[in-house]
Chains A and B, each alone.
Chain A
Amino acid sequence: MRILALIAVIITGAILIYGTQDMPDWADPQSPASTHVSPRYIEKTLEETATPNAVTSVLADYRGYDTLGETTVIFTAGVCCILILRIRRRHRK
């Protein structure tokens, strides 16, 4: 079992490292991630959302729906814990 797990882990790691070969270099300002979608968030944040902090403007405005999902996840987890751990105390006296 341990051996199997180890083999699975090594294969997964090897595939992941194989994939990094074609990645843009670390901290490259010309990488697609830095040039395709994100520049607008920085350049237009003041104009469109009046917030100097770009992270805040993306979190709460551009991708605000994700944040709604995030709060829902927390709510779900809270109710899940109550559901799992709540015990009826009727029998104890």
Chain B
Amino acid sequence: MNIEEILLDKKEMSKIMTRIENGDEDLSSEILKHIKGARIIGVTGVPGSGKSTLITKLSSRLLEKGHRIGIIGVDPSSPFSGGAVLGDRVRMKDLNRFENVFIRSISTRGKIGGLSYYTADLVNVLDAAGYDTIFIETVGTGQDEVDVFNIAHTIIVLQVPTLGDEVQIIKAGQLEIGDIYIVNKADQGPADEKIKELNLILKKRENGWQPLVIKTVAVKNVGIEEIINALDEHWNFVKETGLFKRKINSRIKYMLKQHALEKLDKIMESEVVDSYAEQIIKGRNMHEIVNEIINKVGGEYGKGGIV
């Protein structure tokens, strides 16, 4: 049976995701060959801003229109135990009435940047299985978590009315990556002020897109239709301007970087580092050691070694 047939079975697909998340390199490379080019939407914003609720509302509308929806929800892992509470599904219960949706919750497993090392791989699994629209819900983010920009065609950044003054709006990071900005929970504070501030700073992007700002109360379905329209508008832009092709390229480059970094990360978390630290204390040149470690990633530390 070929891999695309296997992926038709949700249970099998789910097990494939587990194997990839646990480091099955061959499977991860194989799946990448089968991606079909799904539309990928990244949703990011501070904890509690309404990401899961918004994704649920948007997904319901898109499922009614006949789309097949995949959702990857990322939550943080504990720096102490390595465990995690993955709670994105609490708000997504309504989606269980649809057959054509698949939700997977994952932990960052110690990775910073808003996603885990394997998030892109799991997106690939959904893409290869024919889910045409895939939401990535990042961990609750602050300012600097912009990894999702490398994978998603469209970035939705959620803001809430009550947090921060206008200086927060002019800072680097998340205010630079969004295609659609949502001021959610608009019934709970000075939303119009926030919208005014956002509109002031959100100039046309280098690629020609003018970011949109939309006011919503997601739990009450206020503003959902406007976002659906904005998503369509941006998707047309993505296809017409060649951004679609460029994103496939950036997704693959991002994955290469993640997988290389993960190997290095494993080595640096292992006990070999202790002996290197000893050597530095005894007078060995630090950067000589850095280069030695990098040389060994593909060799004795590589597959079957520490990694």
Specify whether A and B are partners: no
